[in-house]
Amino acid sequence: MTTSRSSRPKNIYICYSLAAIKNITRYTGTFRFGPQLFIEDASLDKGEQSMKSCVTLSVLALLASSSFGADEVSTFAAYVDSDLCARLMLGPITSERVQCSQSTFKEGSQPVLVRLRNNMVLTVNKEKMIGPLIGQLAEVSGKVKPNDGTVKLDSAMPITNASIPKGDPARKLLDVRMYRTDRSAQLHEKIRHELAMMPYISNFDFISFAQSGADVILSGWTVRATNRDTAGRVVRDIEGVETVINNIEVLPLGSFDMQIRAVARAKLQRYLARYFWGSGSDIKIVVKNGQIILLGTVATKADSDLAFMQCNSVPGAFKVFNLLRVQGSDKGA
């Protein structure tokens, strides 16, 4: 573009920035950040040159700020799980986990996504979109807010296990062998010990974890924000741990749920006193939006059934998930 200096309109600075971008691409072949931005244009005098640079930088700053301010929009492979199973972290996607996802979803646990790449649990804005895909893999597109653990869904399409290429980080969660190999058993025990020793764990908190080599995924529910942070910190500080994904959910302390917590504990403490002691209990009572999730270990199936019955009679509780494990049995009741 050849325009005489006198006839060039002085106030149309956007032309300068476009010209500058054109010049940059002309000199460098590609448009990129770096010292190439300040290439001299022999057709402009010194004042115009500095104006050009200034406007160019402004345009680039605007472009940069608009891209930094936006949420992370991404497409990723995920496992469509129930909130309950995702927080319990049953580990890799086995038939047992799929069964858990489907049965607990049917019983009323909300659907969530587990990002395969890093095991992050994400709650969604459109539960109906992923509900039919529960227990399956899906390619999901949407705006992810990793700090909130949420995703604003655009689309969710079912995919097969085979469609995820070999070597893709997303395959990690599909490979059972990745989890808790013998050589990391010691590390597993160390993590378990550290989490068990946290001082602010109450009857109403349940913190679990899964380990894949040096990667640890924390999950569960807590009524105190400090437990989420402390768990992340103590595990991160353990020698041998490289990454920690913290999927522990902090539960709201609404008065309705608090009432349910208090009554449920009082009932269990009355009928199953031997499972309760000074600062804690073998039975954990997680209450979320009127739902009770029973976790932990009891000695007999009869105790598990009794706990379930007692919690079912708690006023205001509209659903009880009994996931108590019976000693000597691998599965919950």
Partner 1 sequence: MLTNGYLNKLRSPGFFCVALVLLALSSCSRPAPRASVKKVPAGQEFSGFLSTYASLKPNPDFENTKSYVSGDPAKNIHKYVAVIVDPPEIYISTDADEKAFPDRGVAALKEYFQNAITGAVEDAFPVVQSSGPLVLRLRSAIVGIDVGQQLPADQKDANTLERALNIGRVAVEVELVDSETGEQIAAAVDRQNLGEGATVGSATFSREEKFRAATQAFDGWAFRLRRFLDSANELSKDDIDRVEATNFPYASK
Contacts with partner 1 by CB under 8 A lie at: 88-92, 94, 96-97, 176, 179-180, 192-193, 195-197, 199-200, 202-204, 208-211, 223-226, 229, 253, 255, 258-259, 261-263, 269, 276-280, 282, 295-297, 323, 325
Sheet strands side by side (includes 215-222): 206-212, 215-222, 243-250
Instruction: Tell the smallest beta-carbon distance from residue 234 to partner 1 (Å).
Output: 14
| Closer by beta carbon to partner 1, 122 or else 205 | 205
Residues 6+ apart with CB under 8 A from 4: none
Residue type (1 letter), 257: D
Rounded CA gap, 257 and 264, in Å?
10
201/302 Cα distance (integer angstroms): 26
CB of 230 to partner 1, least distance (A): 9
Shortest distance, position 196 Cβ to partner 1, whole Å:
4
CB nearer to partner 1: give 156 or 245: 245
Which C-beta is closer to partner 1: that of 16 or that of 204?
A: 204
The residue among 122, 74, 87 whose CA lies nearest residue 130 is 122
**CB-nearer residue toward partner 1: 224 or 236:** 224
Reduced to 3 states (helix: H, G, I; strand: E, B; else coil), residue 81 is strand
Question: How far apart are the C-alpha atoms of 288 and 137, rounded to whole Å?
Answer: 26
Minimum distance of partner 1 from residue 122's CB (angstroms): 19
Strand partners, 150: 123, 145
Is residue 321 a contact partner of residue 294, using CB atoms and an 8 Å limit? Answer: yes
CB of 138 to partner 1, least distance (A): 21
Of 22 and 274, the one with the shorter C-beta distance to partner 1 is 274
